[in-house]
Amino acid sequence: MLEFLTYLQSVHQDWSAALAFYEVSRDALVSVYEYQNNHLTRRDVTFPVDQLPDRLVRKFFHPSAFFNQVDRRSLLSHLFHSSPSYEPDAHEATQLRPLIPIPAWQSCVCMALADQEDMLAMLVLASPKKNAFNSKAIGNVIPVKSVAALALAQQLHRAARGRELAEADQPVATAEFQDRIRRLNQQTEELEEDNRVKAEKLVALSQEIELLDKNSSEYRQELERVKVALFALEEQTEAATQHLTDAYTQLTQAQYRLKGLDQTMGFMKDVFQVLSQEHDSQEFSHTMVTWFCQHFGVERCSLMLLDNSCETLQIAAQCGIDPSIVNRVKVRVGQGVAGWVAHNRKPLFVRVREDRGSPHTGQDVYNSDSFICVPLIYNNRVFGVLNLSNKRDGEPFDETDLDRALMAGAVLAMTLGGQETARRTAAWA
């Protein structure tokens, strides 16, 4: 990255370059790197994509949302090859100010660094000269940009591979952690035995001193030294006991997380076994919602799908809701919690909520203020949302529950997307 920015600025002395990295989970540019004064600097930002100019968003980030294309890869490839750069207009300078490396510029161009259809980062070049980025200059930058994108993609792949290897080594780390706890237990027992022996010696020594000479200052000093040593030993024992308690706490937390991962893997295995066999696609959503509640202790779960107008959400499958009110629950896109999630295409995880914000019937009963709502997105199209509330025993939802909900939502979205594709294929046939 340093060599890339240095090369761009060394080719043309009037050029200034900045590289903004894209994080797809937040749909935002999160880090901006610049080469200034012979140093690579980094600015941590959170710049949502929807705050960029509309034409720039459609060109590099969400083209299929504007053109309503199903094949996003082919559309991105067409855009990158037909027009690989974007020159902002003067009225767009305010929107791009956090990304442009110099405040006073006359020419600016933006280029995408991508791995096939995946957006990795955006390169911003600026110059105080007018018309600094003609077609020849852009053509010279494209090969270097492609090499930089490839190197960046390989680096991200190696980082992801390292995380997978770390997860594979987790059982070994757990075994080593348990062995360490056993050693701490043994050391604690040895300290307690040593403490008992020294305490007995102290008692015998005190009795001997009393018999020989209670008024001897020398014996009294020796006794005080022994008492100080015993006090220090007691402090060491208390510290060792506290360390052992902390170790047990960490082990319990690790075992709880491992148990949750095992439950999640078992649930997903059952789901994919059902998908791999002949099954009723109409009943799969009801089965999926029921299984999710049974496996993970959720008392209320609802699957809300968009109607034909794509403007209103209705309950298509549920567990734990009064059937008499299911057909009456309708939420417009953009309104309430479910409508907000469908509109923004982002999950919502609340540990303690102050205001639910969505309409209720007055018959709903909640055992806590924690809930999860995730969007169902397939092929860049929103099909609905999955709502979770009322975890068993009134416990709040945690990050593990959010991961499970996201996986379940992805499976439901793929299933619904597959059914939609099959219907379209049948209609064309």
Residue 375 has pLDDT above 90, yes or no: yes
Q: In the chain, how long is the greatest CA-to-CA distance?
A: 112
**Structural tokens at position 151:** 């190197």
Q: Give the lowest-confidence range in 39-53, 65-79, 183-197, 311-325.
A: 65-79
- Give me the pLDDT at residue 326, please: 83
In this structure, are residues 388 and 367 in contact, taking their beta carbons and an 8 Å threshold?
no
- Give me the pLDDT at residue 65, please: 45
- Cβ of 424: how many Cβ atoms within 10 Å? 11
- Give me the pLDDT at residue 72, please: 44
- Give me the pLDDT at residue 387, please: 93
Percentage of residues in the chain having pLDDT higher than 70: 85
Give backbone dihedrals phi and psi of 75, rounded to 5 degrees, phi first: -65, -45
Mean pLDDT, residues 279-286: 72
The rounded distance, in Å, linking the Cα atoms of 299 and 290 is 10
Residue 360 has pLDDT above 50, yes or no: no
Percentage of residues in the chain having pLDDT higher than 90: 9
The rounded distance, in Å, linking the Cα atoms of 103 and 128 is 9
Residue 75 has pLDDT above 50, yes or no: no
Task: Give the bridge partners for 385, in sequence order.
Answer: 304, 375
Residue 275 has pLDDT above 70, yes or no: no
| CA angle, residues 36, 42, 48, in degrees to nearest 5 | 125
- Give me the pLDDT at residue 388, please: 92
The rounded distance, in Å, linking the Cα atoms of 116 and 114 is 6
- Give me the pLDDT at residue 173, please: 67
In this structure, are residues 384 and 305 in contact, taking their beta carbons and an 8 Å threshold?
yes
Q: SS3 of 45, please?
A: strand
- Non-local (6+) Cβ contacts of 185 within 8 A are 244
Q: Between 425 and 363, where is the model more confident?
A: 425
- Give me the pLDDT at residue 280, please: 65
- Give me the pLDDT at residue 241, please: 85
- Cβ of 184: how many Cβ atoms within 10 Å? 16
Residue 256 has pLDDT above 80, yes or no: no
Q: Which of 341, 340, 270, 329 is nearest to 300 (CA)?
A: 329
- Give me the pLDDT at residue 169, please: 61
**For the segment 35-71, what is each residue's pLDDT rounded down to a tens digit?**
887 788 888 888 898 888 888 888 888 765 444 444 4
Q: Give the lowest-confidence range in 258-262, 332-336, 410-414, 415-419.
A: 258-262
The span from the first CA to the last CA of the chain, in angstroms, equals 50
- Cβ of 97: how many Cβ atoms within 10 Å? 9
Q: Between 209 and 232, where is the model more confident?
A: 232
Residue 231 has pLDDT above 50, yes or no: yes
- Give me the pLDDT at residue 78, please: 45
| CA angle, residues 360, 366, 367, in degrees to nearest 5 | 170
Task: Give the bridge partners for 125, in sequence order.
Answer: 17, 109
The rounded distance, in Å, linking the Cα atoms of 111 and 121 is 9
The alpha carbon of 73 is separated from its chain's Cα centroid by a whole number of angstroms, namely 24
Mean pLDDT, residues 223-242: 87
Enter the pTM of the model.
Answer: 0.41
In this structure, are residues 17 and 113 in contact, taking their beta carbons and an 8 Å threshold?
no
Ordered alpha helix ranges (H), 88-169 = 93-96, 135-168
- Give me the pLDDT at residue 365, please: 64
- Give me the pLDDT at residue 70, please: 42
- Give me the pLDDT at residue 66, please: 41
pLDDT band at 321 (very low <50, low <70, confident <90, very high): confident
- Cβ of 92: how many Cβ atoms within 10 Å? 17
Q: Between 357 and 194, where is the model more confident?
A: 194
**For the segment 292-316, what is each residue's pLDDT rounded down to a tens digit?**
888 788 888 999 999 888 889 999 8
- Non-local (6+) Cβ contacts of 212 within 8 A are 219
- Measured CA to CA in angstroms, residue 16 lies from 12, 83, 162, 214, 353 at distances of 9, 22, 34, 88, 46
- Measured CA to CA in angstroms, residue 142 lies from 95, 111, 133 at distances of 25, 9, 12
In this structure, are residues 346 and 328 in contact, taking their beta carbons and an 8 Å threshold?
no
- Give me the pLDDT at residue 371, please: 92
Mean pLDDT, residues 132-160: 84
In this structure, are residues 108 and 126 in contact, taking their beta carbons and an 8 Å threshold?
yes
**For the segment 85-131, what is each residue's pLDDT rounded down to a tens digit?**
888 887 888 888 888 888 888 889 998 888 777 788 888 889 998 88
- Give me the pLDDT at residue 132, please: 86
Which amino acid, residue 297? G
What mean pLDDT, rounded, does the chain reach?
Answer: 80
- Give me the pLDDT at residue 135, please: 85
- Give me the pLDDT at residue 167, please: 64
Residue 1 has pLDDT above 50, yes or no: yes
- Cβ of 369: how many Cβ atoms within 10 Å? 15
- Ranges of beta strands (E only) in 76-223 are 85-86, 107-115, 118-127
